[in-house]
Amino acid sequence: MHVADVGKVCLISILDVVSRLKVESYPRLGTTNPPLQAYQLMLRLAELSTGLPRRITLDHGTVFYDNTSPSPFPTSLHLWLLADGASTSASHASAAPPTMPRSSARIRQ
């Protein structure tokens, strides 16, 4: 999104879909596609406050899904999450809550 007097901003939000708790939310300035490291930082911060999730549902942002490859899985983020012990799944547009911003991750405890 574009914010007046700030420029490009991407809001990274991590939600617990069971309790509907917003675990972490962080604005990333100057980009609409934050790098992998920004998501790793947010996921680590969320793990510190809520513990390691059993499952994480991801949208189709470029860091979650490589749309340039004939076989988009696994991405670097998927491998990083699996090494941490969390399984991943892709979200479906109808399953995402209306307040869910693009390029965000949802945590299921």
Query: Rounded to the nearest 10 degrees, what angle do helices 36-50 and 76-84 cross at?
Result: 20
pLDDT at 91: 59
Q: How many percent of the chain have pLDDT more than 90? A: 0
Q: Is 33 within 8 Å of 63 (Cβ atoms)? A: yes
Tell me the residue range of the domain where 9 lies.
2-108
Dump pLDDT digits (tens) for 47-73: 888 887 777 877 777 777 777 777 767
**What domain count does the chain have?**
1
- Considering the entire predicted model, what is its pTM? 0.68
Specify the CATH number for the domain of residue 101: 3.30.420
Give the range with max mean pLDDT: 21-25, 93-97, 103-107.
Answer: 21-25
